[in-house]
A and B are shown apart, each in its own frame.
Chain A
Amino acid sequence: MEEIIFYILAAILVIFAIASVTSRKMLRSVIYLLFVLCGIAGIYFLIDYNFLAAIQLTIYAGGIIVLIIFSVFLVHHIELQLELAKPGKQLLTALACLTGLGLFLVTIYLHPFEVVENTNTISTAEVGNLLLSYTEGGFILPFEVISVLLLAAMVGAIVIAKGKKLSTNNQSTE
């Protein structure tokens, strides 16, 4: 049963991944990408990583995709189609993709995977403790670094969006 579901999910992933890069309508490829991300969440559910699956759905499917859809709304009209690249470029991209694919396949087939018996499902408390622990295997440092990064990104976005207003306001108060 699980094997069948895995193959169905894998087929969905591959088909929609290819569809999302070949589609010439921008929003359609975003939706194909959404299906790919949901498929990945499905694989996480299959191996009992419920927490990761829900995070995948919230952040990628619910957050990132909605943001991408928004930017498509702002720049793209429904009748527009993406241009086809020149043959030379197409060839170059195909070569690059094939090299990447080959590299991945070689690594995957050469790596000796160890079959892990079904481990217990991870509880939320464990995830929380691990996220805040500073001992070995803890994630407090990346957690904090990411929060600083996000703060910087937010400040940057505000400055870019309101840059002129901010500087004129400062001058008038001086």
Chain B
Amino acid sequence: MKYGLSIITTIHDWLYSVMPEWLAGLVEMILIALVYLGIFSIAGLFLVLMERRVAAWFQLRVGPNRVGFQGLLQTMADALKLLSKELTGTEKADKFLYNLAPYFVIVTSLMALAVIPFTKEFHAFDINIGILFLIAISSIGVIGILLGGWSSNNKYALIGAMRSGVQTISYELSVGLSLLTMILLTGTLQLSEIIEVQKSGWLIVQGHIPAIIAFMIFMISGTAETNRAPFDMVEAESELGAGFHTEYSGMKFAYFFLAEFINMFIIAAIATTVFFGGWLSPFGITESIPWLGVLWFLIKTLLLVFLMMWFRWTFPRLRVDQLLTLEWKYLLPINLVNIVLMALLVWGNLIIKF
């Protein structure tokens, strides 16, 4: 972002001119954190709205369209309502863990958001092991769900949490391995460099067949990781009430809810970055206007989010044994073969480059 960057550098210079260095650094960190919290809440709320409109569209309904233009303010109103609600809890719950659990989920998805490159400049934490960091963070998020389910002292919540644990541990493997397939092409884990590599063709084009297989596996296991339908065994309404967040109310419930949508956004954003060139424009048509990058990034990401919503309203829910069979008997072997295929491709230099 050309203009955005100049604003950021102005603020940066101004902070360092009026404050001692350590304080300016601290203030800067807090400002960045606030910006990301803002992105988190706004993106989360509008994704909820998008989900509701898309769901309505698939079911030939209208969906929320009264509050604000085309219902744009509907989820804001919902958030205000949730804020004003009473926070109830069970008497015999483990209060400390019960209150801690939503923050686990929120903090991990915020940390994952920090490493995602929105554009070349709008990238808070460009760490040299970006992808590995994302996998590491996403493996911690499940602890929040496990804790919430157990500490509610409710059997439905506990069963939901157990299912979530089983599901996330299994599908993490597929997420990791499908990303590893693409790492063979890029040769780096750093997200900014992964995008740099794609200036000569998006990775899904560069790696053609194995890349497409890896993308499909990533989207399937990514949907499973976010506990969304058709993999929503965790909160299967017809069997478990609401699953692990049965006992949560008001804003604590909203934390789980928002984090689920942000996780969906993160999965789509990783797929965009690794397979579809991140903020790069198709065929480099707007390469001369770098701040358009954020627009391209959002378009691609929202298209993938739409794909995940499409899954949700198309496929029926799986049983637990089908879920585990899919992962361990199909996705994992396909993935392992795919890695070898990709290695042969890179070794034989059969990559399509422009």
Q: How far is the CA of A25 from the CA of B147 in the complex (A)?
A: 13
Q: Are B189 and A124 in contact (CB under 8 A)?
A: yes
Q: How far is the CA of A57 from the CA of B135 in the complex (A)?
A: 9
Set A57, A70, A124, A125: member contacting B165, Cβ < 8 A: A70
B146 an interface residue at 8 Å Cβ cutoff? yes
Q: Are A66 and B169 in contact (CB under 8 A)?
A: yes
Q: Are B132 and A54 in contact (CB under 8 A)?
A: yes
Q: Are A66 and B142 in contact (CB under 8 A)?
A: yes
Q: How far is the CA of A79 from the CA of B94 in the complex (A)?
A: 9
Q: Which of B106-147 contact A (CB under 8 A)?
A: 127-129, 132-133, 135-137, 139-140, 142-143, 146-147
B71 an interface residue at 8 Å Cβ cutoff? no
Minimal Cβ-Cβ distance residue in A for B101: A31
B-facing mask of A38-56, CB < 8 A → 1, else 0?
1000000000001100110
> Of residues B136, B150, B158, which shows the largest number of chain A Cβ atoms within 10 Å of its Cβ?
B136
Q: How far is the CA of A28 from the CA of B101 in the complex (A)?
A: 12
Minimal Cβ-Cβ distance residue in A for B146: A69
What is the total number of residues of chain B having a CB less than 8 Å from a CB of chain A?
34
Q: Are A124 and B22 in contact (CB under 8 A)?
A: no
Q: Are A66 and B94 in contact (CB under 8 A)?
A: no
Q: How far is the CA of A69 from the CA of B161 in the complex (A)?
A: 11
Minimal Cβ-Cβ distance residue in A for B168: A66
Q: How far is the CA of A51 from the CA of B130 in the complex (A)?
A: 10
Q: Are B150 and A73 in contact (CB under 8 A)?
A: yes
A-facing mask of B192-226, CB < 8 A → 1, else 0?
00000000000000000000000000000000000
B-facing mask of A1-38, CB < 8 A → 1, else 0?
10000000000000000000000010110010010001
B-facing mask of A143-160, CB < 8 A → 1, else 0?
000000000000000000
Q: How far is the CA of A69 from the CA of B104 in the complex (A)?
A: 15
Q: How far is the CB of B98 from chain A (nearest CB, A)?
A: 10
A65 an interface residue at 8 Å Cβ cutoff? yes
A135 an interface residue at 8 Å Cβ cutoff? no
B25 an interface residue at 8 Å Cβ cutoff? yes
B97 an interface residue at 8 Å Cβ cutoff? yes
A103 an interface residue at 8 Å Cβ cutoff? no
B162 an interface residue at 8 Å Cβ cutoff? yes
B151 an interface residue at 8 Å Cβ cutoff? yes
> Which residues of A are found within 8 Å of B161, using beta-carbon distances?
73
Q: Are B151 and A50 in contact (CB under 8 A)?
A: no
B187 an interface residue at 8 Å Cβ cutoff? yes
Q: Are A61 and B140 in contact (CB under 8 A)?
A: yes
Q: Which of B178-193 contact A (CB under 8 A)?
A: 187-189
Known: A66-B146, A78-B153. A58 touches B158 (CB 8 A): no
> Which residues of B are found within 8 Å of A34, using beta-carbon distances?
143
Known: A28-B97, A34-B143. A51 touches B150 (CB 8 A): no
Q: How far is the CB of B8 from chain A (nearest CB, A)?
A: 20
Q: Are B128 and A121 in contact (CB under 8 A)?
A: yes
Known: A28-B94, A50-B127, A124-B128. A69 touches B189 (CB 8 A): no
A sample of 8 more A-B contacts (CB under 8 A), given A61-B143, A66-B169, A78-B94, is A1-B25, A31-B147, A50-B128, A62-B139, A66-B139, A69-B146, A70-B146, A78-B92
9 closest A-B pairs by beta carbon, nearest first, are A62-B139, A57-B136, A58-B136, A54-B132, A54-B136, A78-B153, A50-B129, A54-B133, A124-B189
* Interface residues in chain B, defined as those with a beta carbon under 8 Å from any beta carbon in chain A: 22, 25, 92-94, 96-97, 100, 127-129, 132-133, 135-137, 139-140, 142-143, 146-147, 150-151, 153, 158, 161-162, 165, 169, 172, 187-189
* Interface residues in chain A, defined as those with a beta carbon under 8 Å from any beta carbon in chain B: 1, 25, 27-28, 31, 34, 38, 50-51, 54-55, 57-58, 61-63, 65-66, 69-70, 72-73, 78-79, 121, 123-125
